[in-house]
Amino acid sequence: MKAVLTFQEMKTKYPGEWLLIGDPELDASLHAKSGKVLAHSCSRGEIYRKLAHVAGKRVSIEYVGEIPTDLAVAL
Condensed to tens digits (0 to 9), the pLDDT of residues 33-58 reads: 999 999 999 999 999 999 989 988 99
The rounded distance, in Å, linking the Cα atoms of 53 and 68 is 31
% the chain with pLDDT above 90: 77
Q: Kindly report the pTM of this predicted structure.
A: 0.86
Phi-psi region of 25 (alpha: psi -120 to 50; beta: other; left: phi over 0): beta
The rounded distance, in Å, linking the Cα atoms of 71 and 40 is 22
- Return the SS3 of 48: helix
The helix/strand count (H/E) of the chain reads as 2, 4
Domain boundary assignment for the chain? 4-63
The predicted structure's pLDDT at residue 1: 63
